Structure formats: structure tokens, C-alpha cells
Amino acid sequence: MLNVLVTGCNGQLGRHVRLLTSASQHNYQFTDVDTLDITKRDAVMNYVLTNNINVVINCAAYTNVDKAEEEEDVAEAINATAVRHLADAMKVNNGTLVHVSTDYVFGGAAYNRPIREDDAMNPTGAYGRTKMHGEEAIFEVGCNYLIFRTGWLYSEYGKNFLLTMMRLFSEGKACKVVYDQVGTPTYAGDLARVIVDVVENEDFQGTNGVFHYSGEGVCSWFDFAKEIARQTQLTDSRIAPCLSSEYPSRVVRPPYSVLCKSKIKQTLGVTIPYWVDALSVCLGNINQKQNEPS
């Protein structure tokens, strides 16, 4: 039986891991900053050794891309320093660190094809830099690791593009959405399922590597918004396409962040849902929750 620590358990991804492992034969322990501050090395080491943790699934992250420009030291502490602590602890306890990273580690190069795992990291802002530093810390420590890079994550929980659009649509507000940033929406429930399946599969225990995972297909944020409106039948919502330049920002967001998933499909045998179908599943879960008796 594995002893698995899941950090950031109250975030989008962490909540889905909790749901998926509720009946697992393995011992999952869930923490957030209120129960374990992973920026504190002694606290991390003590927790891992006391509970004999075999696997850490690190779902904790500083993800406010704009605010990271003002709080890069805070983002660095969570996205890089804390990751080093977790890697150190797994190295000492001969365990595996499963870490979630981002497409924002790229962005500084003009890609016109899906980005591969071995493409050079080249972030354009503080958030991407700190996430890159987290990955580099894992490599430097030399623990067993699995890194899953993803992008455009959404779910029924927290703050994300899907829930923001649904709120704006329900309020009947017009909105402009950029069409010159291209990627693939990723349902957190799908990524959580991949992570849990890999962690619990004995054939892949001891496997190291970086893997890209996002929904199948490609779209712009504008396309994503239009599909949300279509599936929620909020067709009277006024959605207009616009350029990124119409929203001046200190952050240069990746204009093309389509991730190549060939490696994860071939190596881990993962089947990836088309992003439109995954969105339908998520919206179905939202509707079910809304219709449940209080």
C-alpha cells in the first residue's frame, strides 16, 4: 500500500484527486497551506518522514499570472522553493514526486507546431519563470519524478475561465475574448484521472520523465467561450473576438501553447478526450450539482 501526500488539495486539480481516490486501497493524505506549509523545509521533511510518504502529488501552485509580476518572490517560494523541499524529501525517503507544471514555461519562442517535452523552456513572465525554476529544482535534486505540464485548466471548482464565462453569460453581459491566443482547454478531472492511474499502476512506479497533457484538439479563447455558450444554451450572450493588444498587460501570454501529447500516449498508454467532449462532461457535473437537493 502506498502512502500518498496530495498538496494543494483545495484547488481545482486537488479536489478532483480527492474525489477519484475516495475509495482507493492506498492511503491518501490531503493538505493545503493551513495544514502543511510546503515553503517550510523542516515542516515538509518532518511530515514526509513521520508519515512514511512514498509519493507526493504536488497540486499546490501560485497561479495568478498577473499578480506574480508584483509578487515574484511569493510565486518563487510556492512554485520553486517549495518544490525543491518536496523533491529533497522524496530523495531522502526514496519516493516519487509527481509535479504539475504549465505551458507558461514556454512562450518566448514562436511555435507553429505542438510543443514537445524536449523543447527548450523559455518563459515570458514571472509565473512561467517560477514554474520553470520548480522543474529545474527537481532535476537538480535528482529524486524520482513525474512532471505533467498542462494548460488552460478548468473545472467545476475555484476560479477559472469556464466559470467566469458562465457567470458573465448568466448576467447577460457582453464580453470580448481574445482570438490570437491558441491552445487547448484541459478538464481538471481528466488530468487528475491520468495522475491517479499512473501513481497506482505498479508497472510505472519508478518511471521518471516529463509529460505533456492537455485536452485533444486546438482552439482560441474566443472559440472556447463560444463553445461554452453553445453547450450551456446561452446563445443570446454577446461574445466578440478581440486581439490581445486590446488588453494591455505586464505579462506576455503564450500566443501558441498547444502541447504535443504523443509521448504520454505512447509511453503511458493514455487516451485523451477531445476538449469539446470533456467540456460537456464538466458541464454535466455542474448541472447535476445544481439539481441536487440542498
List residues with catalytic annotation.
127
State how far the Cα of 278 lies from the Cα of 244, in Å rounded to an integer: 26
State how far the Cα of 136 lies from the Cα of 117, in Å rounded to an integer: 14
Backbone angles phi, psi at 212, to 5 degrees: -95, 135
Which residues in 167-188 are b (16+ Cβ under 10 Å) and which e? ebbeeeeebebbbbbbbbbbbb
Listed residue (134, 47, 126) closest to 84, CA to CA: 134
Cell of 245: 493588444
Pinpoint the alpha helices (H) of the chain: 12-20, 41-50, 72-76, 82-92, 126-141, 161-170, 188-200, 221-231, 262-268, 275-291
Cell of 293: 437537493
CA atoms within 13 A on the CB side of 249: 17
Pairing of strands 153-154, 144-150: unpaired
Are 189 and 246 a contacting pair, CB within 8 Å? no
Report CA dihedral (265, 148, 12, 62) to the nearest 10 degrees. Answer: -160
How many degrees, rounded to 5, is the angle at CA 32 between CA 81 and CA 106? 45
In angstroms, the Cα distances linking 66 to 75, 239, 248, 252 are 11, 23, 11, 10
